[in-house]
């Protein structure tokens, strides 16, 4: 695992040289918020990192319900029974094993690693504008119908899940990068993803943190080039 810190954010990267998968710990004054649960074996390093910070993980936020973002959720919940789990109402269905699409989502099927037999049930269903600690929820449909991003209001860091990638080059979900095409292959609706990305240009983002790839500081100029 690779660990990188920026202000209140800790990026934990698993398989950094093979298939980098990120999750994030956000430090609050008296507690920690985990964003995404990475791969199935990731719980050990997540818990070890929290222990070193000498604070408890009290919340687990999920950007979306693909397997590489909820992989260690059940095991983490066993170790953290009091931690509340948050996900959008739409992706809660995916988490619970319902992989159907709604009428307005046709004709695009869900793609990517869709979960099966997840035991953990969400405690809170997120909506646009909800506030969790220092984080504000931003609805970002595209990679999945219910994808969410989280803006840290203290320093304008944006944890965007797979709405963007930086591995293989900066791209919106659905824009295929030859060096790392997997987020594009797992995207439900690339047009919706492009529309969601336009919302980000209106925000004064200081740091872009994604599901796959390195942190990107002061990303606005680069985002302008890929968002049309």
pLDDT tens, residue by residue, 155-212: 999 999 999 999 999 999 999 999 999 999 999 999 999 999 999 998 999 999 999 9
pLDDT tens sequence across 22-42: 999 999 999 999 999 999 999
Judged against a pLDDT cut of 90, whether residue 77 lies above it is answered with yes
CA distance 85 to 90: 14
The pLDDT score that the predictor gives to residue 56 is 97
pTM above 0.85, yes or no: yes
Q: What is the domain range of residue 193?
A: 2-226
Domains identified in the chain, total number:
1
For residues 63-72, give the mean pLDDT. 98
The pLDDT score that the predictor gives to residue 228 is 76
The pLDDT score that the predictor gives to residue 31 is 98
The pLDDT score that the predictor gives to residue 109 is 97
Share of the chain above pLDDT 70, in %: 100
CA distance 27 to 21: 20
- How would you label 13-33 residue by residue, b for 16+ Cβ within 10 Å and e otherwise? bbeeeeebbbbbbbbbeeebb
Copy the structure tokens of residue 157: 């860091």
CA distance 73 to 126: 17
* CATH code: domain of residue 18: 3.60.15.10
């Amino acid at each position: 695992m690779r660990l990188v810190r920026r202000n209140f954010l800790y990026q934990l990267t698993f398989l950094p040289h093979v298939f980098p998968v990120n999750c994030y710990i956000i430090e609050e004054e008296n507690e920690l918020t985990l964003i995404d649960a990475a791969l199935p074996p990731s719980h050990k390093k997540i818990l070890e990192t929290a222990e070193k910070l000498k604070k408890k993980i009290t919340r687990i936020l999920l950007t979306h319900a693909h397997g590489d973002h909820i992989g260690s959720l059940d095991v983490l919940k066993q170790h953290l029974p009091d931690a509340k789990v948050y996900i959008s109402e739409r992706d809660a269905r995916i988490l619970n094993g319902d992989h159907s699409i709604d009428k307005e989502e046709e004709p695009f099927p869900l793609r990517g690693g869709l979960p099966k037999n997840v035991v953990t049930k969400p405690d809170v269903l997120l909506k646009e504008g909800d506030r969790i600690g220092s984080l504000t929820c931003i609805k970002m449909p595209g990679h999945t119908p219910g994808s969410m991003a989280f803006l840290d209001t203290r320093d304008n860091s944006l944890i965007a899940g797979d709405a963007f990638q930086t591995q293989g080059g900066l791209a919106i979900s659905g824009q295929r990068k030859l060096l790392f095409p997997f987020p594009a292959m797992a995207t439900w609706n690339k047009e919706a993803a492009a529309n969601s990305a336009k919302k980000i240009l209106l925000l004064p983002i200081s740091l872009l943190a994604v599901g796959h790839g390195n942190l990107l500081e002061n990303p606005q100029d680069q985002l302008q080039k890929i968002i049309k």
